Chain A
């Protein structure tokens, strides 16, 4: 299944997502947790720790800046995970999808 968790700031999206991901993984499912928040904190709730959360955010930024390790697009989903995901507790694969660093972009 593919589940998107949305809601108002502070409602508990990140916390809920992380617990759902880990419970599914404990039940034997292969789980990929994607942090699509522009202020990505999911790693902290999953339990991968502060440094790893920041490392994955940095990897995402390097990709934006075209300093990534590949000069081609990832061949497929698995390739993408190999390059950008980290394995967290209970075997949950975790990657950061977005963080934007321009404080005042031109377009609304």
Chain B
């Protein structure tokens, strides 16, 4: 959507619930951070971006100084004996939207940012945080929030908490030998998470027009957007700057903008 975008364009649109997965180093965080901000600019509904990668990165791309925005342990209570349900849940009276309001960091363009993967106070703490996360995702009003996930790089638990929640999955793939092999694995794993028509590949760091074709033929995924290798974008990332602020006209950013349109077009 261009600057003429307004609520009327998207009044009937269903907010996105999109999980971005891919090999470590493929460019997930760089794409997700930029994507979330461009989505927030294009659409009136609020955007929550969930970082479940334990490694830092997304916050910098968003343009935040911090790399940690977790849910306070005090926001989560343990199930009382004899009670049903998950072991931990949000404190009674604290709704999912309240929790986002209280604990998410507000990034530029109004994007809300929450970090889940970091170990803060040991394993007990991460369990609390995981449960709270899961509850926030499932209880945020469906017709209001875009929820965008930056998922961990490995294939150990690539969709933890997202199966049954994500309405679309984007596999970020660089068309290198390792990237393509990894892409095949993610494609296979994602097949049990979303319907085939909700599963897409984004080519990252594309160096030739052949890259997209390679990705399609080797992974069987449909390429929804191809993002070129872009020195200016990469330099901003390397410096820890938000590419969207540092190099707003970079070619990679234009393609991520197209990705926002493409996903909105396909999914709504």
Binding site for B on A (CB under 8 A): 8-11, 14, 37-39, 41, 44-45, 50, 53-54, 98-105, 108
- Is B181 interfacial (CB-CB < 8 Å)? yes
Shortest CB distance A105–B (Å): 6
Q: Are B189 and A101 in contact (CB under 8 A)?
A: yes
From the candidates A9, A100, A101, A108, name the one contacting B24 in the complex (CB within 8 A): A9
From the candidates B162, B177, B182, name the one contacting A39 in the complex (CB within 8 A): B182
Q: Are A103 and B193 in contact (CB under 8 A)?
A: yes
Q: Nearest chain-B residue to A104 (Cβ)?
A: B163
* Separation of A51 and B185 alpha carbons in the complex (Å): 14
Which of B38-46, B59-67, B152-160 lies at the interface with chain A?
A: B152-160
Q: Which chain B residues in 133-182 approach chain A with CB under 8 Å?
A: 153-164, 177-178, 181-182
Binding site for A on B (CB under 8 A): 23-26, 55, 126-127, 130, 153-164, 177-178, 181-182, 185, 188-190, 192-193
Q: Nearest chain-A residue to B169 (Cβ)?
A: A103
Q: Are B157 and A10 in contact (CB under 8 A)?
A: no
Shortest CB distance A41–B (Å): 4
For B24, what are the chain A residues with a Cβ–Cβ distance below 8 Å?
Answer: 8-11, 39
* Separation of A37 and B157 alpha carbons in the complex (Å): 12
Q: Are B154 and A103 in contact (CB under 8 A)?
A: no
Shortest CB distance B158–A (Å): 6
Known interface pairs A50-B181, A108-B126; A103-B55 also in contact (CB < 8 Å) = no
For A54, what are the chain B residues with a Cβ–Cβ distance below 8 Å?
Answer: 181
A-B contact sample (4 more), CB < 8 A, given A9-B153, A11-B25, A44-B181: A38-B155, A38-B156, A103-B193, A104-B162
